[in-house]
Amino acid sequence: MNFTWTLWLALFGLIFGHGLPGAVVGGITGFIIDSLRQGQRRRATPEAGGYISPLFALLGAVAKADGRVSEAEIAVAERVMQRMGLEHEQRKQAITAFNAGKQPEFDVTPAIEQLRRWVGLRRDHAFPVLDVVIETVIAEGNPPPEKMAILRQLAFALRVSDMELMALMAMKGYAWNATGGSSRGYGQRGNGGYVPPQRNANGPDPYTVLGIARDVDDRAVKRAYRKLISEHHPDRLGDLPEAMRKQAESRASEINAAYERIKAERGFK
């Protein structure tokens, strides 16, 4: 545990609080602050491996959402297991969870809540989780509303907005839009609009990737870029599996490429 505040406030109390009594009061106050900060750090750090069961259960539920689990969706789950380098017991855990998730009576809400608790305060961990679920959602091409509803429920729980979800899908070459073409706030859900894969030679629309409208000013472009790259930078991902780190690296590259295209288009540095 770090005792920075304990020491500083004890010293402050000693100098400005009339000696030893002031130092004691300052030290106690500082210790409380240090304890609270330590607790926040623990809550902000996801438990290693704590995502496996809820994540794969959710993949099974998404796969079954349209009434059948396809070979493409099973292949996605298999690839995810391989990329994550799951050990034998972890693989068995993932398969059991996937099979449970595809049962008709399965309720996605507890699994989503477990992922929300696992992510905690780490929004930079929310995006790799969404990446994996998006792979299953789009495994067969245009996803039905049932699959998008689960994806949006997860995004809402992880405090990822419609606009950010649009950006994540755009990075994979898919254009999805909320109803009316605008991003709504947390908790406002609808089926939204889905546009089939649209990736031109230059890649996805850079403004969609940054989650901004084309008519924003240069300052807003720079602000959106800085926010996104800080949240998606792989160096911040801690103990996530290497596969998720590679996804984050790919996503950060997409963000950088989108920003460079907008800078070249607008002519600013």
The reply to whether 39 and 84 lie within a common domain is no
Domains held by the chain: number? 2
pLDDT in tens, 178-225: 543 333 333 333 444 444 444 444 567 788 788 788 888 888 888 888
In the predicted structure, residue 32 carries a pLDDT above the cut 80: no
Alpha helices in the chain (DSSP H): 4-16, 20-44, 52-64, 71-84, 88-101, 108-119, 123-137, 145-157, 162-171, 206-210, 218-232, 242-266
Burial class for 99, CB neighbours closer than 10 Å (0-12, 13-18, 19+): middle
What pLDDT band is residue 74 in, cutting at 50, 70 and 90? very high
Residues 91, 151 within the same domain: yes
Task: Report the C-alpha gap between 26 and 195 in whole angstroms.
Answer: 60
Mean pLDDT of 81-97: 88
The pair of structure tokens assigned to 83 is: 């990329």
- 151 has a pLDDT exceeding 70: yes
Residue with tokens 């495994």: 139
pLDDT at 97: 95
Asked whether residue 111 falls in the same domain as residue 153, the answer is yes
DSSP 114-178: HHHHHHTT-HHHHHHHHHHHHHHHTTTSS--HHHHHHHHHHHHHTT--HHHHHHHHHHTT-EEE-
Asked if 126 contacts 159 with a C-beta cutoff of 8 angstroms, the reply is yes
Angle at 110 between CA 105 and CA 114, to 5 degrees: 145
pLDDT for residue 187: 35
Q: Do residue 144 and residue 17 come from a single domain? A: no
For residues 161 and 39, state if they share a domain. no
**Encoding tokens for residue 37?**
């900060």
115 and 11 housed in the same domain: no
- Please tell me the distance from the alpha carbon of residue 225 to that of residue 231, in angstroms, as a whole number: 10
* 38 and 59 together in one domain: no
pLDDT at 238 over 70: no
Same domain, 146 and 85: yes
Helix (H, G, I), strand (E, B) or coil at 198: coil
pLDDT digits (tens, 9 = 90+) for 98-114: 999 999 999 999 999 99
Do 36 and 167 sit in the same domain of this protein?
Answer: no
Q: Which residues span the domain enclosing 229? A: 52-266
- Mean pLDDT of all residues in 94-100: 94
Same-domain status, 131 and 205: yes
Rounded mean pLDDT, 106-126:
86
State the average pLDDT for the chain.
76
Instruction: Indicate if the pLDDT at residue 234 is higher than 70.
Output: no
C-alpha of 208 from chain center: 17
